[in-house]
Amino acid sequence: MTTKKLIQVAIAGNPNIGKSTFFNNLTGSGQDVGNYPGVTVEKKEGLRKYKNIEINFIDLPGIYSLSAFSEDEVVARNFLIENKPDVIINVIDASNMERNLYLFTQITELNIPIIVVLSMSDILKSQGKVVDTKEMEAQLGVPVFNTIANKSTGIDKILDCLVSYSKNNKFKNQTRAKIDYGKDIKTEINKLDILILKSKNLSKFPSEWLSIKLLSNDPLVLQIVSKADNGTNILKQLKQSQVHLKEHLKKLETDLINIRYKFANSIVKIVIKKVYTQKVDISEIIDTFVLNKYLSIPVFALVVYIIFKFTFSFSMPFIKIFELFFNKFGQLIATIIPQGPIESLIVDGIIGGISGVFKFFPLILFMFLAIAFFEDSGYVARMAFVMDKIMNKFGLHGKSFLPLMLSTNGCAVPGILATRTLDSKRDKLITMFVVPFMVCGAKLPVFALIIETFFSVKHQTGIMFIMYLLSMAIALGVAKLLSKTILNGEISHFIMELPPYHLPTLKRLFLKMWERGWLYIHKTGTVILLTSMVVWFVFEYPKASVNENLSQSEQATIQLKHSLAGKIGKYFEPAFKPIGMDGNNVIVLLTGLIGKELIVSTLGTIYAIEDNDNHQSLKEKIASDKNWSPLKGITFLIFCLIYMPCIVSVSVFFKETDSSFKWLILLVIGNTILAWIASFIVFQLGTFLNLGA
């Protein structure tokens, strides 16, 4: 018997409750990932053949409600209303059931069959509690299943339920729990229902859901109704209903929310049973320090410092091994290939270029490992909570911290994409503007090289820590400026779950470390190889006629000035002289527009061409160059930190701002001008005070 597509199942739930893991367990490798039409929200679908039936699962974005506060919420509810799936699987965090049931109360009003799947049951059990699933089924009127997503527990039972209910049409007879809104609100809902049912344009919407959304002043629903036939009468009745309800209720929108939570609270009291009394709640004890009014910021700073200390301490021996390997490898290749353009291209261009970046791969890995530990332990969510009040003072939303965190030692691209979770366009725009100021994984090798070159081992962690603080200070300063000028407005409300603390597994930590590390290699590998070859070419050609009696160093200097790169650098050099940079620095910064990690590979290529002494490391060559100094090194880092982000980040930014050239120009030109001003102040002040010169 052949299979046929029979069931379409949407998976809905709050963010960070194991919904995606559950989806992966249901679908395995048969997934299709893209974007919903017309928006930048990720769409995941997966097919599963089970007992001769084909089931199509759609993983909706993680949402807290079906309101119109964020793009994710709008996309999720539009899909449910327009596509009308056969079943909605509502994934609910058993350890935080009241908050999760709020979404359930809204889903029930869509008149679509529901299955409730409880995740995090193991965490609830560790708290000395269990869920009475039979009682919960009776209270909600829907099937309820326990599952532990990361262990694939309960998957077959859920699939059996889907197949059985579909074959026997049990979903059509589902009598789901109804929210009691009280006599006054229910009366007005019925009045709106009657008018909505008379409108042909609104027939695809559940009338009760539409009525409640109208009473809640949902902007998108109001817009839809205003354009519908009979819309004028509906909106007229809405005004009358709202006036009437104001006489009996303090604030209708707040009361509707409170009624939903009251329902959720009553369910929790009935279905959650204590099996034993937990003696100590570890999460509460840790949070008394981590979230303390006076200790939270010092603890946050300490955690960041620990990440840097761990990264530098453990990665340095491996960096030296990588450095030694590339030096010996370059010398070996130089002895095999006859001296000439091919030998120079391979040794100076390719090996000299890629070695500068790839030797810092251990540093990237250890940084990812440290961050993964604090992510999986539950502390990163606390970071966002701790930073919320501070970020609000600078015009940023509390959830903006997560895109900034993603960009830190990762990449600005996922950081920009993560702003999709922000509710308002204003919050999203401000966050996208400041994400590129973070020290991403591409900037990290640049910072590591310059800091390692000009500062002793005991000061390296401190300098890196200061640069990270500087990046955050610049981001907050720019956010404040934007929020007070062109992006003035109110910050939307902040909601975030604080997961319980738990000890991460070594397997998951190393898996995360390797996945992110591999993405870094995959992103940079091909680009660095090609760019290193281009950089070598523009520094080697056109060839200058030189006196063979001159030393190799003198010949290289003449060739550099005569080359295409030398001419380009010379052209832009006057603009960079006031910030302590020469023509070579200009070329290096230009290649950094392709990817910031290319700054290191370009320096490697330049110094490999200028100096044939492969026994010296790149940092030794830079340190011995009279055109560099500790002050110029710091100025160089500040410029790299602030100026225009890489082309990939710029293109993603452009797309996420609905292809707005206005915002694109402000990002590209604004960041570069700010970088020049900041570098000018540091260099000129340092020169005046004779610091690091």
Q: Distance of CA 557 to CAs 80, 264, 545, 563, 610, Å? A: 67, 75, 12, 10, 7
Nearest to 120 by CA among 375, 378, 374: 378
% of the chain exceeding 90 in pLDDT: 24
Mean pLDDT across the chain: 82
Q: Taking residues 258-283, what's their average pLDDT?
A: 84
- Is 567's pLDDT higher than 80? yes
Query: What pLDDT is recorded for position 641?
Result: 95
More confident residue, 41 or 684: 684
* Tens-digit pLDDT profile for residues 470-503: 999 999 999 999 999 998 877 665 566 677 777 7
Partners of 274 in beta bridges: 129
Contact 451, 462 (CB under 8 A): no
Does 150 score more than 80 pLDDT? no
| Residues with Cβ within 8 Å of residue 691, at least 6 apart in sequence | 631, 685
Whether 86 has a pLDDT exceeding 60, the answer reads yes
By the 8 A CB rule, do 228 and 199 touch? yes
Express each pLDDT in 353-365 by its tens digit. 677 667 767 877 8
**pLDDT at 609 (0 to 100):** 67
| Mean pLDDT for the stretch of residues 24-32 | 69
The pLDDT assigned to 429 comes to 92
Residues 368 and 514: their CA atoms lie apart, in Å, by 8
548 in helix, strand or coil?
coil
Most confident residue range from 256-260, 561-565, 641-645: 641-645
Average pLDDT over every residue of 52-62: 88
CA triplet 428, 432, 438: central angle to 5 degrees? 135
For residues 215-242, one letter each, b for 16 or more C-beta atoms within 10 angstroms of the residue's C-beta and e for the rest, the string is bbebeebbebbeebebbeebbebbeebe
Higher per-residue pLDDT: 612 or 674:
674
Q: Give residue 154's pLDDT.
A: 76
- The pLDDT tens digits of the residues spanning 415-467 come to 787 687 676 788 889 999 999 999 887 888 899 899 999 988 888 888 888 99
Q: How far apart are CA 392 and CA 261, in angstroms?
A: 27
The b-or-e profile of 274-289 (16+ CB within 10 A means b, else e) is eeeeeeeeebeebbee
From residue 60, how far is each of 20, 90, 138, 418 by CA, in Å? Answer: 9, 10, 27, 16
- H/E stretch holding 236 reads helix 231-246
- Burial class for 587, CB neighbours closer than 10 Å (0-12, 13-18, 19+): buried
% of the chain residues with pLDDT over 70: 86
- Would you state the pLDDT for residue 237? 93
Across 12-20, average pLDDT: 83
Report which of residues 69 and 690 the model is more confident about: 690
pLDDT tens-digit map of 639-658: 999 999 887 788 778 888 88
CA distance 370 to 161: 42
Task: Indicate the fold that domain 5-173 takes in CATH.
Answer: Rossmann fold (3.40.50)
The answer to whether residue 614 scores a pLDDT higher than 60 is: no
Per-residue pLDDT reduced to its tens digit, 38-51 = 454 667 888 888 88
CB 308 within 8 A of CB 464: yes
d(Cα 620, Cα 42) in Å, to the nearest integer? 46
| Topology (CATH) of 183-274 | Helix Hairpins (1.10.287)
pLDDT tens digits, 128-147: 889 999 999 999 999 999 88
Question: What value does the mean pLDDT take over residues 508-526?
Answer: 71
Instruction: Return the minimum-mean-pLDDT range out of 156-170, 471-485, 621-635.
Output: 156-170
Determine the longest span between alpha carbons in the chain, in angstroms: 101
Q: Calculate the CA dihedral of residues 31, 33, 36, 41 and round it to 10 degrees.
A: 120
Nearby residues of 173 by Cβ (< 8 Å), 6 or more positions away: none
Going by pLDDT thresholds of 50, 70 and 90, the confidence category of residue 1 is very low
Look-up of token digits 């599952």: 147
H or E stretch covering 638: helix 630-642
Q: Which long-range contacts (CB under 8 A, 24 or more apart) does 542-547 make?
A: none
More confident residue, 187 or 350: 187
pTM of the full structure: 0.61
Question: What are the boundaries of each domain within the chain?
Answer: 5-173, 183-274, 299-489+498-543+552-688
